[in-house]
Structure 1
Amino acid sequence: MIFVAVGTQFSFDRLIQYMDEWARDNEETVVAQIGEGSYEPKHMQWERFLNGDQYNKNIKESSVFVSHAGMGNIISARENQTPIIVINRQYELGEHRNNHQAEGLLWMGKLPGVYTADTQETLYSQLESRDAMESPEESDNQNRQKLVSFLGDYIDGSIT
């Protein structure tokens, strides 16, 4: 099963449509949390919002988690040892208030178990390779500290 989530603050119809089309053409169960977007999927199971327990259960049970490029979902994927593909919302398409997610893809892809996509083609390519994806390390205190240090270094400009 593939789990898809767009978060709760902004809709992300482009990602939901990409995944709905992918689900139409592939024999894999896809479950999505679609938020308040206007696009309603026809080829995958979906809910607008999920409670925290169901959300985490879906992450844990999925072979890969597909998400907007949000740190909360990356952390949740790491905690559940599930590979995650993140795709950025684009300011130019009216999907966000700025382009910080596009800029973030560069460093997000350096995290273990995090894969990035910025187009439909790169998303589909990542999905084709999902069986070879590595799960992120268990998120114990030491690994959590590594993530915090990495983010701090990125913010400080030590990592580009």
Structure 2
Amino acid sequence: MIFATVGTQIPFPRMIESVRYAAERLDIDIVAQTIDVDYVYTPKGRLTCVKTVHPRKFQDLVAAADIIVSHAGIGSIISAATASKPIILMPRQSQLSEHRNDHQVDTAKRFGSRRGIYIFNDGPELVDVLTVPLVPLAPIEPDMSPLIAGIKSFIWNAS
């Protein structure tokens, strides 16, 4: 199963259309979290779209998925790494009015060469990536630096 997520802030119809394109051509179940309340996603192939996903359900979907497809958000990359899942990223582009700047394009450039992270820009590229063997993203080791430990302690012990 593939879990696709556009994040929690703004819809990303170009990514969902690319996921739909892949679902129509590949024999795999895809669950997509869309957050889009205006766009109507008609079922095609084995694609199921849900507008919102509770954080616990999100983690369950990440754990159950073989592959994560996502916008190029750091939270999604961390989720995939924590679960040791391959992640395929589509960066939002400001020139397409998908975001206010190109920080996701920069994120994709920065992390795109890392083992377990793949990049796509449209449906045919997504199909191409999904038809080759993918390796999981290496797990993120907890940072136990004194700064991080102090911040965690402050947050967890705040009343």
Q: TM-score range by the shorter chain?
A: 0.7 to 0.9
Aligned residue among 66, 77, 81 for 1:78: 81
State the partner residue of 1:88.
Answer: 91
SS at match of 1:126: helix
Distance in structure 1 (CA, Å) of the matches to 2:40 and 2:106 = 26
Distance in structure 1 (CA, Å) of the matches to 2:25 and 2:116 = 25
SS at match of 1:59: helix
Higher relative contact order (CA 8 A, sep 6+): 2
TM-score, normalised relative to structure 1: 0.81
Size of the aligned set, in residue pairs, is 142
1:6 aligns to 2:1 (yes or no): no
How far the C-alpha of 1:47 sits from its partner, in A, is 0.9
State the partner residue of 2:148.
Answer: none
Deviates more, 1:60-69 or 1:109-118: 109-118
How far the C-alpha of 1:48 sits from its partner, in A, is 0.5
SS at match of 2:78: helix
Distance in structure 2 (CA, Å) of the matches to 1:6 and 1:97 = 16
Structure 1: unaligned runs, 5 residues or longer: 146-160
Deviates more, 1:64-73 or 1:94-103: 94-103
How far the C-alpha of 1:39 sits from its partner, in A, is 4.2
Amino acid at match of 2:25: D
Distance in structure 2 (CA, Å) of the matches to 1:73 and 1:80 = 11
Distance in structure 1 (CA, Å) of the matches to 2:27 and 2:124 = 18
Change (3 A) 1:41 1:7: farther
State the partner residue of 2:156.
Answer: none
Structure 2: unaligned runs, 5 residues or longer: 146-159
Preserved CA contact (<8 Å) 1:83 1:114: yes
Q: Percent identity?
A: 29
The structure with the larger Rg is 2
How far the C-alpha of 1:26 sits from its partner, in A, is 1.7
What is the root-mean-square deviation in Å for CA atoms of aligned residues? 1.8
Q: How does 1:71-150 map to 2 (within 5 A)?
A: 71-129=74-132, 132-141=133-142
Higher helix share: 1
Preserved CA contact (<8 Å) 2:19 2:123: no
How far the C-alpha of 1:134 sits from its partner, in A, is 1.1
1:64 aligns to 2:67 (yes or no): yes
State the partner residue of 2:28.
Answer: 28
SS at match of 2:119: strand
**What is the CA deviation profile of residues 53-96 of structure 1, one whole-angstrom value per residue up to 9, with x for unaligned ones?**
11111111111100000000000000011100011111121111
**What is the CA deviation profile of residues 6-42 of structure 1, one whole-angstrom value per residue up to 9, with x for unaligned ones?**
0111110011111112112221101010112514142
Change (3 A) 1:5 1:41: farther
SS at match of 1:104: helix
